[in-house]
């Protein structure tokens, strides 16, 4: 494996920072993502609704300088998506698998970008998706009552109003084994694992544990979660941070 590919996998897709760590279930509205890290690029949403980006631009995934009125951003493998105030969606970067075919989307309240697919949550709780579907990761047409979505490398996760979770896509490491989850208010998905934040501030996880990335059973008082390819991060209610998983590049050194 080349160093570039290794670094790319360690960064992962859809590593999201959310601005307001409040309970999704209590509002039925998703938490807006203002900072998102893709495989090799990072995107940030500014207060004025414009977007900035840095990193690799091999597929023009950083071509977001003219975006305005944006309320949320999500960075995928080689593409970037932005949610506008009017509920429409913009995109930049690779469209190799149709992951940018979002021009006709309307009434969207949250977006999530996987490696080569994009998912959108609509106001009515239904979900739309486009892009690579080689593992059924875009088979969300029958989803209902969804309040939060997350896109992993090749799988998609949805949190329902009742706090249960559904999943579709690749399950080679058990990353879609979320049928028994309850009281979930946020989810994060990446390479081969899925993380769920419960209403009581505890965290559950499924999938690959090759580097200890799902060792979250003792986490408490968590307000927000996010995941890289093989590491997981949690923001606590007091503003401190915990992390577990792969640390070759120092990505879990968040103790201070």
Contact between 68 and 187 under an 8 Å Cβ cutoff? The reply is no
Select the more confidently predicted residue: 32 or 248. 248
Residue 4: pLDDT over 60: no
| CA distances in angstroms from 54 to 11, 39, 125, 171, 194, listed in the order given | 14, 12, 33, 32, 26
Options 3.90.1150.10, 3.50.50.60, 2.130.10.30, 2.40.30.10; CATH of 3-245: 2.130.10.30
Delimit the domains of the chain by residue range. Answer: 3-245
Cα–Cα distance measured from residue 241 to residue 9, given in angstroms and rounded to the nearest whole number: 22
Q: Residue 223 — left, alpha, or beta (φ > 0 → left; ψ -120 to 50 → alpha)?
A: alpha
Cα–Cα distance measured from residue 203 to residue 234, given in angstroms and rounded to the nearest whole number: 9
Residue 18: pLDDT over 70: no
Cα–Cα distance measured from residue 198 to residue 2, given in angstroms and rounded to the nearest whole number: 37
Rounded to two decimals, what is the model's pTM?
0.91
Please tell me the predicted confidence (pLDDT) of residue 33. 82
How many helices (H) and strands (E) in the chain? 2, 19
pLDDT digits (tens, 9 = 90+) for 20-67: 444 444 455 687 889 998 989 999 999 999 999 999 999 999 999 999
SS3 category, 118: strand
Please tell me the predicted confidence (pLDDT) of residue 11. 44
Cα–Cα distance measured from residue 70 to residue 47, given in angstroms and rounded to the nearest whole number: 9
Cα–Cα distance measured from residue 204 to residue 217, given in angstroms and rounded to the nearest whole number: 6
Among 100, 91, 3, 7, smallest CA distance to 55 is for 7
Please tell me the predicted confidence (pLDDT) of residue 32. 81
SS3 category, 3: helix
The pLDDT of 212-218, averaged and rounded, is 98
């Amino acid at each position: 494996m080349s160093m570039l590919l290794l670094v790319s996998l360690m960064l992962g897709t859809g590593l999201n920072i959310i601005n307001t760590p409040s309970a999704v279930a209590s509002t039925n509205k998703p938490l807006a993502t203002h900072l998102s890290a893709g495989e090799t690029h990072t995107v940030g949403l500014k207060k004025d609704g414009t977007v900035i980006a840095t990193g690799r631009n091999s597929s023009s995934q950083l071509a977001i300088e003219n975006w305005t009125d944006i309320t949320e951003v999500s960075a995928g493998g080689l593409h970037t998506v932005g949610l506008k105030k009017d509920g429409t969606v913009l995109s930049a970067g690779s469209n190799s698998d149709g992951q940018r075919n979002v021009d006709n989307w309307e009434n969207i309240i949250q977006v999530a970008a996987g490696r080569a697919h994009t998912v959108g949550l609509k106001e009515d709780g239904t979900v739309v998706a486009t892009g690579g579907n080689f593992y059924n990761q875009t088979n969300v047409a029958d989803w209902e009552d969804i309040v939060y979505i997350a896109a992993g490398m090749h799988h998609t996760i949805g949190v329902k109003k009742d706090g249960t979770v559904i999943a579709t896509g690749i399950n080679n490491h058990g990353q879609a084994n979320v049928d028994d989850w309850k009281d979930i208010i946020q989810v994060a998905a990446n390479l081969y694992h899925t993380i769920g934040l419960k209403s009581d501030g505890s965290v559950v996880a499924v999938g690959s544990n090759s580097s200890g990335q799902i060792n979250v059973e003792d986490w408490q008082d968590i307000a927000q979660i996010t995941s890289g390819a093989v590491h997981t991060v949690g923001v606590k209610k007091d503003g401190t941070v915990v992390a577990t998983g792969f640390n070759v590049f120092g990505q879990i050194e968040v103790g201070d």
